[in-house]
């Protein structure tokens, strides 16, 4: 039985990424992949401002239990660690965990417990989708082709080098999160993320991303096993 993976995406950028190289990659592992987004156009970070997690949980429960109840269906998420809603399970405890990998594993465990379905594979990105760009910033040249952007992209490469080559350590500060860092160098990026992702998603090198991003690689490895 071939698996059908449903990716519950935070917003349009994640939808574009799933429809790009991620879908192609998982298809090679006999996995059909479809992205979905619940009200993302009107919500910050994929969550409503009030009772953000509770509302999302209800949407996910209905989606899993009623829309796709069959065993051939599996589910995962693409939500950012950055700006999780205050009502996310045990977020107050997670804040005090200094190691980002321990923190995100803790939160994903609580996410899985809240959804309570063996077909559900929670994934919270460190720290945003834009972390993936920092795995290979030159992918932006597919969209930003003017020579003036080459120096900006060199600066983005330097940011990763300052983190010992690990894009997942670029943090979740308002001014220092991946999106803000890119926007600081390419001022059109923040307002044009969706358009950029629709272009670069077809050109991202998944092998480079998983080599540099441990948490992303762990998630992708679990997804690949669904096709066996």
Residues 137-171: tens digit of each pLDDT: 999 999 998 888 899 999 999 999 999 999 999 98
What tens digit of pLDDT does each residue of 64-98 get? 988 899 999 999 999 999 989 999 999 999 999 99
First to last CA, the chain: 9
Q: Are residues 11 and 79 in the same domain?
A: yes
Question: What is the band of 35 on the pLDDT scale with cuts at 50, 70, 90?
Answer: very high
Crossing angle of the two packed helices 100-115 and 52-62, in degrees rounded to 10: 50
Range of the domain at 68: 3-128+207-225
Q: Tell me if 185 is assigned to some domain.
A: yes
Q: Tell me if 201 is assigned to some domain.
A: no
pTM of the model: 0.93
What tens digit of pLDDT does each residue of 161-220 get? 999 999 999 987 889 999 999 999 998 898 889 899 999 999 999 999 999 999 999 999
Q: Are residues 19 and 79 in the same domain?
A: yes
Q: Are residues 104 and 214 in the same domain?
A: yes
Place of tokens 């003036």: 148
d(CA 59, CA 62): 5
């Amino acid at each position: 039985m071939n698996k059908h993976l449903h990716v519950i995406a935070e917003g349009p950028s994640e939808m574009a990424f799933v429809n790009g190289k991620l879908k192609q990659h998982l298809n090679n592992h006999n996995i059909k992949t479809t992205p979905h987004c619940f009200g993302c156009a009107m919500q910050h970070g994929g969550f409503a401002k009030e009772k953000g997690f509770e509302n999302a949980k209800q949407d996910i429960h209905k989606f899993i239990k009623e829309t796709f109840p069959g065993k051939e269906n599996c589910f995962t998420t693409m939500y950012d660690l950055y700006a999780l809603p205050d009502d996310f399970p045990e977020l107050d405890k997670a804040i005090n965990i200094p190691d980002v990998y321990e923190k995100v594993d803790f939160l994903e465990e609580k996410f899985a417990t809240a959804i309570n379905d063996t077909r559900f594979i929670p994934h919270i990105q460190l720290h945003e989708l834009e972390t993936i760009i920092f795995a290979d910033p030159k992918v932006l040249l597919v969209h930003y082709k003017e020579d003036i952007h080459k120096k900006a992209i060199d600066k983005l490469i330097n940011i990763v080098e300052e983190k010992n080559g690990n894009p997942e350590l670029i943090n979740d500060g308002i001014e220092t999160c991946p999106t803000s860092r890119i926007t600081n160098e390419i001022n059109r990026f923040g307002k044009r993320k969706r358009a950029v992702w629709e272009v670069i998603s077809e050109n991202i090198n998944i092998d480079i991303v998983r080599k540099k991003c441990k948490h992303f690689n762990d998630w992708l490895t679990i997804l690949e096993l669904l096709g066996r």
